[in-house]
Amino acid sequence: MRLICSPAGIVNREYPGQGLLDIKEAGFEELLCDAALFFDEQPEKRYTHYDRVFAKCRENGLTFPVMALRCPAQEADRERDEGFFKEFVEEGLEVCEKTGCRSLLAPLFFEEVSKDRRQEEAAEFYLKLAAATEKSGVQILLRNQCRDLNGHLVRGFCCDGQEAAGWVDTLNERAGRECFGFCMDAGTCTLCGQNMYDFALTLGSRLKAVILRDCDGAADNALLPFVCVDKGQTKTDWLNLIRGLREIGYDGMLILHFPDSARGFSPLLRPRLMELAKAVADYLKWQIELETMLKRYPSRVLFGAGNMCRNYMKCYGEKYPPLFTCDNNAALWGKEFCGLKVREPECLKELPADCAVLICNIYYREIEKQLREMGIAAPIVFFNDEYMPDFYFDRLEERV
């Protein structure tokens, strides 16, 4: 799975060096090529920004696997508007080719077009766009979008999972090749009240990218994941997003997009913010790939004889059975817990190098330090049950 950082709110196109350095030093290696950052509505200025930004990107070893085209505001003269838009898209595709972008987030050009006109008009436009990308092999990604209805944000183009899947299949069939995929915007899902678990399952292999952004459910803002919280509950349903992506075995792009959070911090704090952003992106990737991680090891043991161990056994015990579990509580040694024998930590020194130790305890860092100091050679990883498909809500009263 690829982690991609959007430069929006972080990189100044006139002086891009510092923002790109902050992104690089946080650990990101790939960026979203955002047309809004590079292009100016005055044609003679567009490639000035492009050259400046990309020169700095090359210095920092940053690459662009995906590009987001953003169309300027539509004019009253629609014919002139579409002509300008065509030129804008063509120039964007040239940038894709020069930078090695392999995916293109399609412009939100039809969000204000009435539903009756939208179907064939949008299809015709996207097929023309597909024809323009045939030589480069760039894949076009449709995405779900909101529509403004008298000041209220409502479901717009491709907000229904069946509709989105149908669009991708129909366009690929009419284009005669697999040139279309889909990008799910988590912020749009929140604004439109979409169930991201169902959306992900309906899209399946059509889903190629996910935009990770938080919002308050009312305004179309883009914040760092997990910051929109009310009474301890996040506004964005990260639980169903992670579960859905896990279930389809998602292995596409995760695009972290948080310009409103980035702009709200002083530039002096930007390096620390970017470190947090990378940690958040790594965490979401880890959670989505949890089962992939379990498949990686031919054998495994657990550390911990508590609720997290119970949740592991309930969700994965049959599919990925552990050899045994360990615990620091000597009173449990030799007993059984959830069908597993509880053993002392010292026995972990006897494990083969390819047998993973899954820490099933919230005090992960403390236990990892303990095991490292013991000289455990086996891989040590953390199992977390926050996003399990099924788990126990009740807590253990006794550790027996």
Q: How confident is the model at residue 84 (pLDDT cuts 50, 70, 90)?
A: low
Alpha helices in the chain (DSSP H): 17-26, 35-38, 43-60, 78-99, 115-133, 161-175, 186-191, 196-203, 238-247, 259-264, 270-288, 290-296, 307-316, 364-373
| 284-293 pLDDT, tens digit each | 999 999 988 8
Q: How many CA atoms lie within 13 A of 216 on its CB side?
A: 6
Return the pLDDT at 75.
38
Task: Say which range, 71-75, 280-284, 372-376, has the weakest mean pLDDT.
Answer: 71-75
What is the rounded average pLDDT of the residues 22-48?
A: 79
Cα 156 to Cα 33, 107, 112, 237, distances in angstroms: 24, 14, 9, 20
Q: How confident is the model at residue 88 (pLDDT cuts 50, 70, 90)?
A: low
The tokens for 115 are 């539903």
Percent of the chain with pLDDT over 70: 86
Distance CA 3, CA 25 (A): 15
**For residue 21, pLDDT beyond 90:** yes
Which sequence spans correspond to the domains of the chain? 2-288, 297-382
Look up the CATH number of domain 297-382: 3.40.50.720
What is the rounded average pLDDT of the residues 55-59?
A: 88
**For residue 255, pLDDT beyond 60:** yes
Task: Say which range, 67-81, 152-166, 353-367, has the weakest mean pLDDT.
Answer: 67-81
What is the rounded average pLDDT of the residues 172-197?
A: 93
Return the pLDDT at 81.
54
Radius of gyration of the chain (CA): 24
Distance CA 61, CA 46 (A): 22
Return the pLDDT at 230.
83
Return the pLDDT at 399.
45
Higher-pLDDT residue of 358 and 136 is 358
Higher-pLDDT residue of 112 and 19 is 19
| 303-320 pLDDT, tens digit each | 999 989 999 999 899 999
Task: Say which range, 102-111, 141-150, 216-225, has the weakest mean pLDDT.
Answer: 102-111
Return the pLDDT at 156.
76
Which residues does 248 contact at the CB level (< 8 Å), separation at least 6? 200, 201, 203, 204, 205, 207
β-pairing verdict for 30-34 and 299-303:
unpaired
**CB 378, CB 357: distance < 8 Å:** yes
Which residues does 85 contact at the CB level (< 8 Å), separation at least 6? 71, 72, 107, 109
**For residue 227, pLDDT beyond 50:** yes
On average, the pLDDT of the chain sits at: 85
DSSP code at position 330: G
Residue 120, classed as helix, strand or coil, is helix
CATH 3.20.20.150 fits 2-288, yes or no: yes
Distance CA 359, CA 353 (A): 16
What is the rounded average pLDDT of the residues 216-233?
A: 88
What is the rounded average pLDDT of the residues 49-60?
A: 83
DSSP code at position 223: B
CA dihedral 295, 296, 302, 306 (to 10 degrees): -50
Return the pLDDT at 71.
57
